Amino acid sequence: MTERSILITGCSSGIGLCVAKGLTERGWRVFATARRPEDVIRLQDDGLEALQLDVADSESIHTAVAIILGRTGGKLDALFNNAGYGQPGAVEDLTREAMRAQFETNLFGALELTNLLIPVMRKQGHGRILFNSSILGFAAMPMRGAYNASKFAMEGLVDTLRLELRGTGIYPSLIEPGPIRSKFRPNAYLAYQQYLQPHIQRKADPIHQAIYQTLEARLTKEGAVVPFTLGPEAVLKAAIHALESKRPKARYPVTTPTKVFAILKRILPQRLQDWAQVKAGS
């Protein structure tokens, strides 16, 4: 069998690292990318073919793609748009700067990277493009408005892309994890400190102060804080099917909460959906 190749973003930890290692073990040639140079060195020390790629930086994206295509002779079988983070905060406290940063990483970088590689896949007549979405890509929860919006936008973009690529041999798929053990909460806390705390502190009467105190405790707590949390291996299983099956699915819900909410979205009236989503997000 000809060696298959894939570019994965956000491989410094969690889902990206797990999928990179798992696919390498299955014989894939994995280009594992990370934003920080020290993470790239660590990935290389782990035996992965790693290079730097910051999805919020167009120059970084173009440079990484040029290097990878130079190594593969201009071909690439798959792309996994995994890099992302969650910006906490009430919608009324989100600044344009915070929202722009959220979309740059979670959506705009994935779009630019995908659009660079679609012509490569069209030319070779095949390709798989995976997007790491979330349960919050179809079920909004409070205090996560920026992240909800970025993932809702991703779902709409990928649904459109799937229609436009019919008959090309290129298959986009959405991976929709629920709670997964990763560095998601510590990274979300850093985003909270950078974009939300200064804005809140400037307010004379921050209406959500009590909620933010609970949020801070949740983001800094060690271990899983949500029931049914799974390891990143659950996402690896979905990614393998999306990459290797003859008939990849449009969506891969991962974890029990994601599967349950996907059903509730279809059967519950909006008022009850809202109640369930507030309870789940509190």
Query: In this structure, is the dihedral angle defined by the CA atoms of residues 52, 53, 56 and 59, taken in order, positive or negative?
Result: positive
Q: Where are the alpha helices (DSSP H) in the chain?
A: 14-25, 37-45, 58-72, 96-103, 109-124, 145-164, 184-191, 197-201, 209-220, 233-244, 256-267, 270-281
Active-site pick, 147, 171, 192, 252: 147
- Tell me which of 42-56, 199-213, 221-235, 245-259 is least confident: 199-213
At the second CATH level, the architecture of 5-281 is 3-Layer(aba) Sandwich (3.40)
pLDDT tens per residue, range 91-121: 999 999 999 999 999 999 999 999 999 999 9
The pLDDT score that the predictor gives to residue 221 is 83
Task: State the pTM of this model.
Answer: 0.93
pLDDT tens per residue, range 59-73: 999 999 999 999 999
Q: Do residues 116 and 123 make contact, with C-beta atoms less than 8 angstroms apart? A: no
The pLDDT score that the predictor gives to residue 170 is 98
Query: 147 catalytic, yes or no?
Result: yes
Q: Do residues 178 and 135 make contact, with C-beta atoms less than 8 angstroms apart? A: yes
pLDDT band at 209 (very low <50, low <70, confident <90, very high): confident
Domain ranges, ordered by start, for the chain? 5-281
Query: In this structure, is the dihedral angle defined by the CA atoms of residues 94, 98, 102 and 108, taken in order, positive or negative?
Result: positive
Q: What is the dihedral of CA 119, 125, 131, 135, to 10 degrees?
A: 140
Neighbouring residues of 36: CB distance < 8 A, sequence distance ≥ 6: 12, 52
Q: Which residue did the predictor score with more confidence, 244 or 226?
A: 244
Greatest CA separation found in the chain?
65
CA 177 to chain centre: 9
Cα–Cα distance for residue pair 257/261, rounded to 1 Å:
6
Mean pLDDT of the chain: 93
The pLDDT score that the predictor gives to residue 212 is 86
Nearest to 26 by CA among 52, 49, 5, 47: 5
Q: Do residues 188 and 86 make contact, with C-beta atoms less than 8 angstroms apart? A: yes
